[in-house]
Amino acid sequence: MLESRIKTIMDSPIQLHQESEERYLITEITWLGYETLLKKLEDKPGYRVTYLDGVLEIVSPSLRHESIKKRIGDLLLIYFLETDTEYYPKGSTTFRKEEKKGGTEADESYCIGVDKEFPDIAIEVIITSGSINCLAVYNQLGVKEVWFWQNESFSIYHLREENPTKLIQTYGYELIQSSEILAFLDINLLTECVNHPNPLLAAKEFRQKIRNKL
């Protein structure tokens, strides 16, 4: 059954549409089945895979998704360089923990200060909502901050409880106004520059405004 579902996905051509995203949801998948799929998709880049407690979701991102992801990454690189911040980019690396039955691939991810097994910051660009709650997966992985870009703005969540007792609905994460890991970052400026119609002018403006604050 799983093999036939995987073959259907593998045989489907990847088509990057401007807005729409293709999603595949498969239930009752073992950890071995998840790792098998990851290996099969190694030679077919373009898909993002999330796994949690036996549920597998596969997404083929849209052109808009990829454009926004790249712009956020480019602007954060400027921030790191201008503020002399030690950073280790992890990109869309697959992070997973078998004992927690969870794994995912962020759009962008970073370790700050020192390199680690799992990132401090994971960034998710949301064009269409998925079936698996990303915060549930990131809690299992112990990621400190999760940034969502949705409806042309950021929502930032910081992990407060690894075993949620108060923040149950957000899986131990608290919604905050700005990053606690990148405390110097002006999230409003970053948002403005991501939304700017001209990426080059946005990058120059972002860099100059950071320099003015230093």
Mean pLDDT of 167-182: 97
Instruction: Report pTM.
Output: 0.90
* pLDDT 10s digits, 28-84: 999 999 998 898 887 666 788 999 999 999 988 888 999 999 999 999 999 999 999
d(CA 73, CA 63): 15
What is the DSSP code string of 28-57?
Answer: S--HHHHHHHHHHGGGSTT-EEEEETTEEE
* Residue 133: per-residue pLDDT: 94
Mean pLDDT of 102-127: 96
Neighbours of 27 (CB within 10 A): 10
Nearest CA-CA partner of 9 in 53, 51, 57, 66: 57
Nearest CA-CA partner of 45 in 29, 32, 60: 60
* pLDDT 10s digits, 11-20: 555 454 455 6
How does the average pLDDT of the chain come out, rounded? 90
- Could you tell me which residues come within 8 angstroms of residue 87 by beta carbon, excluding any fewer than 6 positions away? 80, 110, 111, 112
d(CA 98, CA 141): 10
pLDDT confidence band for 2 (50 / 70 / 90): low
Please tell me whether residue 177 adopts helix, strand or coil conformation.
Answer: coil
% of the chain surpassing 70 pLDDT: 89
Facing residues of 155 across strands?
148
